[in-house]
Amino acid sequence: MLAEIGIVFQALALAASIYATIAAFLSARRHSERLLVSARSAALLTFPLMLGAAGVLLMALINQQYQISYVWQVTDPSTPLFYRVTALWGSQQGSLLFWNVTMSGFAFASLLLNWRENHRLMPYVIVFQMAALAFFAGISLLMESPFARYWVTQPAPSLPPVVEAHMFIPTGAEAPPMFVQPGGDGFFQQGLAQTANGLNPLLRHFGMIIHPPMLYLGFVGFLVPFAYAMAALASGDLTTNWIKATRRWTLIAWLFLSLGLILGGRWAYDVLGWGGYWGWDPVENAAFIPWLVGTAFLHSVLIQEKRGMLKTWNMFLVIFTFSAVLFGTFATRSGLIESVHSFAQSAIGMPMFLFWLIMTVIGVWLIMWRRGRGELRDEHGFAGWLSRETLFVLNNVVFVVLALVVFWGSFGMPIFSVTFMDTEITLGAAYYSLVTVPLFAAMYILMGVAPLAAWGAMTMRRMGKALVVPLALTAVGVVIAALLGARSAGTLFGYGIVLLAGIVAVYEIYRGARARMVTSKESLPVALLTIFGRNRRRYGGFIVHLGIVIIGIGVIGSTAYQLETIQQLGRTGEAQIGGYSVRYDSLELGQIAEDGRLMDIANVTVLRDGQPVAQIRPRVDHYPSMAVTIPGVHSTIEGDVYVLLSGYNEIDGSTATLHIYVNPLINFVWWGGLILIVGTLISAWKDERAPERVRTAATTRGGMQWGVPQAGQ
C-alpha cells in the first residue's frame, strides 16, 4: 500500500514537471499569461509531491517494510531509528529521490522568492528547472524506483519460485514472507526481515550522515543560476538581471558544496583509516570540479557586475558549473569510472550521459547564438595590464585550469588510455601533487595581490606601495615559521604566499574599518560591524579568503610534515615518532557494541617526554560484510597523533601492529572550513538594512555599474 502511494506521488510530480516545462515554454512563445501562471502552479506543486514521496519512503524505512527492496537493502531489524532516517540517502534509489526533493525544493524557493523581480526570465527559468527535474524524476520513477517490491512468482510449475523486485505486481505473484520460523520447511528458509542487509557500516558516521545531503544541496543548488542564465539567453534579457537574481543562490549552492567537501574530508579522516582527508578519488574529484568552476564564476561575475565585462565568459562558467554537476552525477552513478565511492553500475548511464550532453550543447549553442548576434558585447573595453580585471582573469585561468586538470586526471586520461591505448591506468596522489601544487600556489598569490589592485588600471609603483605592509608582515611570519622548524625552501615559500593572502584579507578589513573610524568617528567594533553590514559580500569574501588561508596552512603542514611509521609492538612496547612515544598497552578482543558488531580495541598510550598525555583506543569493527578500522586520535593545536590498529595477535593480543601518523596542523583544515562557512554566510546574508542609496554607493565605489541598464527603469 505504502509503495503504491509513493509511486503515485512520484508519478504526479513527474507529470507536473513535464506539464510545467511545456506550459512555460508555450507561455513564452505565445506571451500567454494564463499558461505561465498555470506552469508556475505546476512547478510549485512538484515540491510537496516529491516531499510526499520521500515521506512515504521514510515511513517505509521506519516501519520496516522489507518487501520494498530499498528498505531491505539499507536497513535491517537491528538498525536504530536514527540510521533508518538517514538510510533515506544511503543508496542509489533513495538518494536519487532525495536529489529530486532538493531539486524541486530549490525550484520552489527560487520561484517564490524571485517571481516578482524577474518576470521576464520566469518562463524560461521554469522551462529549464522543470526540464531538469522531469529528467531526474523520470529516472527515479522508471529506472531506479525506490518503491520496487519483492514478489514471488512461479515461472513454470516444474521450476522453483523466483523472488524479484518489481514496481508493479506481476500476475499471480505473492509477497515473500516477512519472517519464517526457524526449521520450517518449504521454499523459504528465512523471511525478508531475517535477510535484510542493513546500512553500510561505513555510512554510520556523523560526517557521512550530513555529508551527502550537503553535497546534493550544493549540486542541485547550481540549478538555479544555471536556469536563470539559460533563461537570460533564451529570453534575450541579457542584462545583469540574472546575475543579481542568482547571486545569493550561487553563494548558497557554493556554501553547501564546500560544506559537503569539508565534511566528506572529515569523515574520511575519522572512518576510512588511511591518515588523510583527501584521496583524489574520482568521486571526490567529481564534486570538486563544480566547486572549482563555481569559484571561478563567483569571482568573474564581479567583473560583469562592476564593469559589464566578461559577459560571454560568465555564461560559460555558470553553464559549465552545472554541466560539471551533471557530469559528476552521471560519472559516479553510472559506473563510468571505477571508484570506491561509486554507486552500483546501472542502466541509467546512457540517459544521464545524454542529458548532460544535451544540456551542455544547448547552453553552449545559446551562448554562441547570442554572441553571434552581438548581444553579449562587453560594455567596457578597457583594462590596463595591471588592474583588478587582469588579476581576476588570471584567477579564472587558475580555477578553470585546475578544474580541467582534475577532470583530466580523474576522467580524461584514464578513459583515453583505456580506449585508445588499451591500458588501464590509475592517476593517484603523485599525479595531483605534481600538477596541482603550482596552480594552488598561483591561486594563493592572486589571493594576496588581487584585493589590492584597482579596477581599470594601476601602476606598478602603486601596487608595490600597497604591498609593502602585507609583504613586511609576511616576511615576519615566514621568519617565525622558519624558527618553528620549517626548513625547506618549498614549504617556506608555500607558507609565505598563504600568509600573504591571509594578511591582505585582514589588512583590507582593517583598512576598511579604519577609514570608517576616521570618517564617522566610530569605535573599531562599530566600524567593523558597519563595514560588514554595508558590504557583506566584499568583507564576507575576505573572511572566506581567511578560511582558505587557514585551510592552506593546515594542508601544507599535514602534507609536508606528516610523519608515519608502522611498528609491530609487544605489550608495553613503544614506538617513537616526531617527539612522541606511542605505547601499546593491551588489547580487548571481541567487545560487543550496542548494535551487535564485534570490536577489537587496542589500548594505546601517547607519551611526550616520558609523560603520558593521552589514552587512545584505535579499533577494528567487524561487520558481517566488512571490517572497518577506526583510528585513535590524540588531537592538539599542533597536530594529531593518529593511530590505526592494522594488525594484532588474534589469540592473546600479545602483539599489535600500529600504523602511526603524526599530522601536524591538521586541525587548521577543519577550523579553516568553519571560517569559510561563516564567511560565506556573511556574504550570502540578505542585506535587509542597507537602503538603496548605500547599496548603490557600495557597488559604484570602483566607478562602474553605469553600463548596466537597470531592470524596470
Partner 1 sequence: MTDIDFLQDAAPQPERRRPRITLGTVVLLAGIALVALVVAMQLARQTRGPLESGTAPDFSVTTFDGQPMTLSDLRGQVVVVNFWASWCEPCKEEAPHLEAIWQTYRERGVVVLGIAWSDVEADTRAFIADFNLTYPNAPDIGTRIGDDYLIRAVPETYIIDREGQVVERLIGNTRVNVTYLSGVIDRLLAG
Partner 2 sequence: MGSAASRAINCPAIPCRPLKGRLKAHMSCYGASLQWTRSLSRRLQPMAWLLAFLMLWAFTPHLAAAQETDPGVTLDDVNTIAEKLYCPVCPNETLDSCRTTACAQWREEIRVQLVAGRSEEQIIADFVARYGERVVDTPLNATLRGLALYTPYVLLVLAAGVAVFTLARWRRGGERTRHASSLQTPPSVVGTTHVSSVNASSANPSSAPSPQTTLSQGEGKNDDDYRARLERDLKG
Phi and psi angles of residue 577, each rounded to the nearest 5 degrees, phi first: -155, 125
Q: Give the H/E segment covering residue 189.
A: none
Q: Which stretch binds partner 1 (CB under 8 A): 203-211, 230-238, 281-289, 619-627?
A: 230-238
CB of 37 to partner 1, least distance (A): 7
Counted residue by residue, the chain has a size of 713
Total residues at the site for partner 1 (CB under 8 A)? 42
**CA separation, residue 347 to residues 88, 140, 351, 352, 419 (Å):** 21, 12, 8, 9, 21
CA angle 451, 452, 456 (to 5 degrees): 95
Question: Which does residue 388 touch among partner 2, partner 1, none (CB within 5 to 8 A, set by kind)?
Answer: partner 2
Q: How far apart are CA 214 and CA 205, in angstroms?
A: 15
Task: Choose between 37 and 429: whose C-beta lies nearer to partner 1.
Answer: 37
User: Is residue 163 near partner 2 by the rule CB under 8 A?
Assistant: yes
Buried b (16+ CB within 10 A) or exposed e, 384-403: eebbbbbbbbbbbebbbbbb
Q: Which stretch binds partner 1 (CB under 8 A): 13-21, 28-36, 152-160, 265-273?
A: 28-36
Question: Which does residue 689 touch among partner 1, partner 2, none (CB within 5 to 8 A, set by kind)?
Answer: none
Buried b (16+ CB within 10 A) or exposed e, 567-604: bebeeeeebebbebbbbbeebebeeeeeeebebbbbbb
Contacts to partner 1 from residues 393-412, by CB under 8 A: 411-412
Q: For residue 414, which of 293, 285, 325, 272 has the smallest C-alpha distance?
A: 285
Task: Choose between 265 and 363: whose C-beta lies nearer to partner 1.
Answer: 363
Chain centroid to CA 647: how far?
34
Using the rule CB under 8 A, which residue among 374, 381, 525, 610 binds partner 1?
A: 374
Pairing mode, strands 655-664 and 563-570 = antiparallel
User: Is residue 405 near partner 2 by the rule CB under 8 A?
Assistant: yes
β-bridge partners, 576: 581
Using the rule CB under 8 A, which residue among 112, 418, 480, 697 binds partner 1?
A: 418
CB of 375 to partner 2, least distance (A): 9
Using the rule CB under 8 A, which residue among 628, 630, 665, 666 binds partner 2?
A: 628
Using the rule CB under 8 A, which residue among 116, 461, 521, 686 binds partner 1?
A: 116
β-bridge partners, 592: 598
Question: Which does residue 236 touch among partner 1, partner 2, none (CB within 5 to 8 A, set by kind)?
Answer: partner 1
CB of 89 to partner 2, least distance (A): 5
3-state secondary structure at position 450: helix
Q: Which stretch binds partner 2 (CB under 8 A): 102-110, 122-130, 269-277, 364-372?
A: 269-277
User: Is residue 629 near partner 2 by the rule CB under 8 A?
Assistant: yes
Phi and psi angles of residue 275, each rounded to the nearest 5 degrees, phi first: 85, 0
Question: Which does residue 558 touch among partner 1, partner 2, none (CB within 5 to 8 A, set by kind)?
Answer: none
Q: Which stretch binds partner 1 (CB under 8 A): 127-135, 365-373, 433-441, 521-529?
A: 365-373
**149 Cβ partners below 8 Å, 6+ apart?**
3, 67, 68, 69, 165, 166, 167, 169, 175
Using the rule CB under 8 A, which residue among 41, 197, 200, 360 binds partner 1?
A: 360
3-state secondary structure at position 135: helix
| Beta strands per DSSP E along 21-120 | none
User: Is residue 153 near partner 2 by the rule CB under 8 A?
Assistant: no
Tell me the per-residue interface mask from 567 to 586 with partner 2, x by CB under 8 A, - otherwise: xx------------------
Total residues at the site for partner 2 (CB under 8 A)? 157
Q: Which amino acid is at 649?
A: N
User: Is residue 373 near partner 1 by the rule CB under 8 A?
Assistant: yes
User: Is residue 522 near partner 2 by the rule CB under 8 A?
Assistant: no
Contacts to partner 1 from residues 29-48, by CB under 8 A: 31-33, 36-37
Contacts to partner 1 from residues 119-148, by CB under 8 A: 119-120, 123
Alpha helical stretches, state H, 618-708: 667-684, 692-700
Q: For residue 229, which of 304, 142, 139, 335 has the smallest C-alpha distance?
A: 304
3-state secondary structure at position 188: coil
All cell numbers assigned to 582 = 606511542
Using the rule CB under 8 A, which residue among 291, 648, 668, 670 binds partner 2?
A: 648
The owner of cell 568552476 is: 293
CB of 351 to partner 1, least distance (A): 11
User: Is residue 419 near partner 1 by the rule CB under 8 A?
Assistant: yes
Q: How far apart are CA 342 and CA 651, in angstroms?
A: 37
All cell numbers assigned to 164 = 524479484
Task: Choose between 32 and 200: whose C-beta lies nearer to partner 2.
Answer: 200
Contacts to partner 2 from residues 128-147, by CB under 8 A: none
Tell me the per-residue interface mask from 89 to 128 with partner 2, x by CB under 8 A, - otherwise: xxxx--x---------------------------------
Chain centroid to CA 158: how far?
53
Residues 534 and 516 sit within 8 Å (Cβ to Cβ): no
Q: For residue 283, which of 320, 319, 335, 318 has the smallest C-alpha distance?
A: 335
User: Is residue 558 near partner 1 by the rule CB under 8 A?
Assistant: no
Using the rule CB under 8 A, which residue among 82, 115, 206, 493 binds partner 1?
A: 115
Task: Choose between 116 and 693: whose C-beta lies nearer to partner 1.
Answer: 116
Buried b (16+ CB within 10 A) or exposed e, 172-207: ebeebbeebeeeeeeebeebbbbebbbbbbbbbbeb
Q: How many CB atoms lie within 10 A of CB 480?
A: 12
The owner of cell 522568492 is: 113
User: Is residue 179 near partner 2 by the rule CB under 8 A?
Assistant: no
Task: Choose between 376 and 582: whose C-beta lies nearer to partner 1.
Answer: 376
Phi and psi angles of residue 233, each rounded to the nearest 5 degrees, phi first: -65, -45
Q: Which stretch binds partner 2 (CB under 8 A): 235-243, 245-253, 271-279, 609-617?
A: 271-279
Q: Map 137-173 to HEC letters.
A: HHHHHHHCCCCCEEEEECCCCCCCCEEEEECCCCCCC
Phi and psi angles of residue 373, each rounded to the nearest 5 degrees, phi first: -85, 5
Using the rule CB under 8 A, which residue among 283, 301, 582, 684 binds partner 2?
A: 283
CB of 527 to partner 1, least distance (A): 41
CB of 370 to partner 1, least distance (A): 9
User: Is residue 530 near partner 1 by the rule CB under 8 A?
Assistant: no
Question: Which does residue 385 touch among partner 1, partner 2, none (CB within 5 to 8 A, set by kind)?
Answer: partner 2
3-state secondary structure at position 296: helix
Question: Which does residue 234 touch among partner 1, partner 2, none (CB within 5 to 8 A, set by kind)?
Answer: none
Residues 215 and 260 sit within 8 Å (Cβ to Cβ): yes
User: Is residue 361 near partner 1 by the rule CB under 8 A?
Assistant: yes
CB of 123 to partner 2, least distance (A): 25
Q: How far apart are CA 209 and CA 248, in angstroms?
A: 26
Q: How far apart are CA 679 and CA 505, in angstroms?
A: 12
Question: Which does residue 250 touch among partner 1, partner 2, none (CB within 5 to 8 A, set by kind)?
Answer: none
Residues 364 and 351 sit within 8 Å (Cβ to Cβ): no
User: Is residue 272 near partner 2 by the rule CB under 8 A?
Assistant: yes
Using the rule CB under 8 A, which residue among 455, 542, 561, 670 binds partner 2?
A: 455
Tell me the per-residue interface mask from 324 to 343 with partner 1, x by CB under 8 A, - otherwise: ----------xxx-------
Q: Which stretch binds partner 2 (CB under 8 A): 76-84, 114-122, 483-491, 506-514?
A: 506-514
Q: How far apart are CA 696 and CA 704, in angstroms?
A: 10
User: Is residue 416 near partner 1 by the rule CB under 8 A?
Assistant: yes
What are the residues binding partner 1 (CB under 8 A)? 27-28, 31-33, 36-37, 115-116, 119-120, 123, 235-237, 334-336, 345, 349-350, 353, 357, 360-361, 364-365, 368-369, 371-375, 411-412, 415-416, 418-419, 422, 424
